[in-house]
């Protein structure tokens, strides 16, 4: 038996058509969420910061499968398909979308999970150095983060991503 509540589903949009897909689904009464991140890239002799989808090619749509005709999502202009396994859409775990919504502003811009700064002590959470404590040496504009870790009596420099550590 299907739940009688709305759940979040992953939807794939056509290339460069996310704005069109979101607008058309919103007009049909669906709640949609496109998480965005700011990305800094080198352009010529400087840097530019742009908003880009956190999950390129995908966004979330909220649907109650027992009450709404979810199949019309697939025929919406700009939408490629709703992600399904077999003949039914696959729900995204509620805590995943809730966590993103909690960190997102009204425009969908998702804030970084850490408030780390140069000099902050962090505990690595992924990779071969998980559970090691390190100190942030450098945060580059493209979000590359370099940490210093004490290993075998030497200080070693490692690159980690924003999700690979938490504040110690």
Collect all residues with Cβ–Cβ distance below 8 Å to 35 and sequence separation of at least 6.
Answer: 53, 54, 55, 59, 60, 100, 104, 108, 110
Token code pair at residue 22: 């979101």
Q: List where CATH 3.30.70.940 sits in the chain.
A: 7-103
Are 60 and 11 contacting, i.e. CB atoms less than 8 angstroms apart?
yes
What CATH number should be reported for the domain whose range is 7-103? 3.30.70.940
Are 13 and 78 contacting, i.e. CB atoms less than 8 angstroms apart?
yes
Per-residue pLDDT in tens (0 to 9) along the chain, 168 residues:
444 589 999 999 999 999 999 999 999 999 999 999 877 677 787 777 788 898 999 999 999 988 888 889 999 999 999 999 888 899 999 998 998 898 888 889 887 655 667 888 888 887 888 888 999 888 876 667 889 999 888 999 988 876 667 776
Q: Mention the CATH class of domain 121-167.
A: mainly beta
| pTM as predicted | 0.65
């Amino acid at each position: 038996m299907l739940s009688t509540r709305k759940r979040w589903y992953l939807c794939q949009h056509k290339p460069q058509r996310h704005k069109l897909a979101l607008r058309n689904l919103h007009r049909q009464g669906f709640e949609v969420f496109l998480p965005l991140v700011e990305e800094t890239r080198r352009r010529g002799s400087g840097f530019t910061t742009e908003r880009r989808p956190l999950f390129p090619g995908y966004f979330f749509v909220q649907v109650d499968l027992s009450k709404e005709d979810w199949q019309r999502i697939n025929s919406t202009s700009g939408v490629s398909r709703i992600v399904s396994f077999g003949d039914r859409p696959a729900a995204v775990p509620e805590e995943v979308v809730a966590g993103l919504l909690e960190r997102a502003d009204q425009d969908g811009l998702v804030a970084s999970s850490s408030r780390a700064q140069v000099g902050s002590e962090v505990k690595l959470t992924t990779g071969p150095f998980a559970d090691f404590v390190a100190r942030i040496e450098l945060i580059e504009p493209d979000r590359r983060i370099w940490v210093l870790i004490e290993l075998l009596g030497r200080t070693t420099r490692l690159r980690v991503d924003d999700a690979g550590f938490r504040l110690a």
